[in-house]
């Protein structure tokens, strides 16, 4: 029985791969040696990271999701806790990314070694000069994928992704991203939009390219707006565990209320050191391998 396939952002999450901070962060000394060079917003406290991670995984386990864990890898560091970015999962198998952030490029090698262990075939790999990161890939529906083009993912990476997906999709839509705070920051397409149900997403419209926003509205999407005060606290980074059910960072009360008013059930967890300092929320922490209908 096939246990992979993820051409959706909202179908029921059945199998997901994480990486525990004990194997990504290791200890406080390793954190202290890396966080500045990785452009983190502040120094993560290792014990707090582990505590927040336990809260997150306990919450995720409530949804009867099968969880796999990436093993340690000598050439990966703190950022490898954000398992979403080094690959794309299609119904054909995995596509390994060539990360735009140079410090993260070995993460694809770690995945290449792990995927055969869980029975996921590797379709191919993005090669230089192409770059691609999973955080720039948004499945609009099973046959349509939007891909952010910015500092982490370039046009050649998108071209290669389209070729590797082949007949698994009907349409690949490049979405030009803004400069925002520059190449050292992490701005992905999923930094300002997270689907939470079929044709329903939480968004920060101030960062959305007008043509893409209008295209979604024209297809009947409901866009739930994140206020300015909650963008930096990652209210746009929301993980759907099933249609209309999602996990988000605690402390974004306005966005949470707007989601609930739109008929979405919300669960929250604290993530000041695990998520906000490193720039990766619940979507970033998870690499869905298999989503499907109930």
Could you report the per-residue pLDDT of 104-142, keeping only the tens digit for each? 999 999 999 999 999 999 999 999 999 999 999 999 999
Structure-token pair, residue 262: 């739109």
- For 254-261, the CB contacts below 8 A with 24+ separation are 254/227, 254/229, 254/230, 255/202, 255/224, 255/226, 255/227, 255/230, 258/202, 258/224, 258/225, 259/196, 259/202, 259/224
Sheet holding 137-141, edge to edge: 137-141, 144-149, 171-176
CA distance 289 to 69: 12
CA distance 286 to 66: 12
Task: Return the pLDDT at 90.
Answer: 97
**Domain spans, the chain:** 12-185+270-292
Name the nearest CA neighbour of 288 among 13, 3, 1: 13
Task: Return the pLDDT at 293.
Answer: 74
CA distance 212 to 210: 5
Which is it for strands 12-18 and 287-292: parallel, antiparallel or unpaired? antiparallel
Task: Return the pLDDT at 1.
Answer: 58
**Residue 159 near residue 203 (C-beta atoms within 8 A):** no
Neighbour-count burial for 124-136, b at 16+ CB within 10 Å, e otherwise: bbbeeebbbbbbb
DSSP code of 131?
-
Specify whether domain 12-185+270-292 bears CATH 3.75.10.10.
Answer: yes
**3-state percent helix, strand, coil for the chain, nearest multiple of 5:** 30, 25, 45
For the chain, list residues with pLDDT below 70: 1, 294
Q: What is the pTM for the complete model shown?
A: 0.95
Number of residues written out for the chain: 294
Measured from the Cβ of residue 26, the count of other Cβ atoms closer than 10 Å reads 16
Task: Return the pLDDT at 106.
Answer: 95
């Amino acid at each position: 029985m096939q246990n992979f396939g993820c051409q959706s952002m909202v179908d029921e999450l059945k199998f997901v791969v994480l990486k525990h901070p004990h194997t990504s962060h290791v200890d406080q000394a390793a954190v202290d040696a890396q966080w500045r060079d990785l452009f983190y917003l502040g120094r993560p406290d290792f014990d707090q990271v582990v505590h927040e991670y336990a809260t997150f995984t306990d919450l995720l386990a409530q949804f009867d999701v099968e969880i796999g864990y990436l093993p340690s890898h000598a050439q990966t560091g703190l950022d490898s806790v954000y398992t979403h970015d080094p690959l794309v999962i299609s119904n054909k198998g995995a596509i390994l990314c060539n990360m735009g952030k140079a410090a993260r490029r070995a993460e694809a090698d770690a995945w290449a070694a792990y995927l055969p262990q869980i029975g996921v075939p590797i379709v191919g790999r993005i090669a230089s000069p192409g770059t691609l990161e999973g955080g720039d890939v948004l499945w609009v529906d099973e046959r349509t994928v939007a891909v952010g083009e910015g500092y982490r993912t370039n046009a050649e990476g998108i071209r290669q992704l389209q070729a590797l997906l082949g007949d698994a999709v009907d349409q690949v839509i490049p979405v030009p991203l803004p400069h925002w705070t520059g190449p050292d920051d992490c701005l992905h397409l999923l930094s300002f939009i997270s689907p939470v149900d079929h044709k329903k997403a939480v968004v920060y419209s101030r960062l959305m390219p007008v043509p893409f926003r209008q295209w979604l509205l024209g297809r009947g999407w409901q866009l739930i707006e994140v206020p300015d005060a909650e963008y930096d606290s990652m209210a746009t980074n929301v993980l759907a565990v099933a249609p209309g059910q999602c996990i988000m960072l605690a402390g974004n009360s306005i966005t949470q209320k707007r989601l609930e008013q739109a008929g979405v059930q919300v669960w929250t967890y604290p993530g000041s050191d695990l998520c906000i300092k490193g720039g990766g929320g619940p979507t970033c922490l998870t690499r869905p391998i298999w989503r499907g209908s109930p």
